[in-house]
Amino acid sequence: MIMQLDSIKIIHDTVYINSVEGYELVNKVKDFYEIAWNKLLAVGGVIIFGIPIFLALIQKIKAKKDREKFKAEINTHILSEVEEMLSKKIAEYDYRITVISKKAEASVFHLQSNFYLMHKNYLQALSDLIIACQSSFEARAYHNTQSEIASMTVNCLPNLCKEEIERKGIDIQSFYEYFKKNDQDNVVGNHLGEFMKVYKSIPYTITEKNKNKG
């Protein structure tokens, strides 16, 4: 009977111990899964909330680069526009300066030619008028150009000969070709034609000129 009681006690103790160990094991497994689940949730939370933040950061960096690129393109465009505007202004001012310079030059030589005409120095008057009419033409003072060619035709050529003109170094052919090349609107065409007609009719040598006068 005593042995039976001991056996029952041993069985009871064994079952109790196994039950306690099993309970503890279950708790450990439960704790492990709870910790693992919490970690999973934490990682998932980081991923869920982190990805949008990461994407936003990427977009912000890209937007900054795009802004910098756009700003650089705008600056380049503005610089190009400014350079083009300055080039146009410089060209405009250069043209104005050229016109003013040519008008002044034409006026000086025109006045000098009048002085020489008064003193019957027809050769020097012709030389000055050629410079004057080319300068006035380049300044687009076409009325003055016409007047100067007419003065050479009427006042200078009839009192000269080709020999005198050549000795002076005046190249009438080059003068004629200059206007044929540059006078696209034919503003001096008639005057130039009359000038060349008179030039061809004057004598070649001084002797012939003096003979004609006699």
The Cα angle at residue 54 between residues 53 and 56, in degrees rounded to 5: 65
Cβ contacts of 18 within 8 Å, gap of 6 or more: none
Say if residues 121 and 163 touch (Cβ distance below 8 Å). no
Structural domain of 122: 98-213
Residue 133: pLDDT band with limits 50, 70, 90: very high
Question: Is position 145 within any domain?
Answer: yes
Cβ atoms of 132 and 110 closer than 8 Å:
yes
Residue 176 within a domain: yes
Q: Is the pLDDT of residue 63 over 80?
A: no
Residue 85 lies in a domain: no
Question: Is 91 among the domain residues?
Answer: no
Q: Residue 202 is inside which H or E element, if any?
A: none
| pTM, two decimal places | 0.61
Count of domains in the chain? Answer: 1
Whole-angstrom Cα distance, residue 117 to residue 199? 18
Is residue 178 situated within a structural domain? yes
CB of 148 closer than 8 Å to CB of 136: yes
In a domain, 110, yes or no: yes
Residue 41 belongs to a domain: no
Structural domain includes residue 120: yes
pLDDT per residue as tens digits for the range 158-185: 999 999 999 999 999 999 999 999 998 9
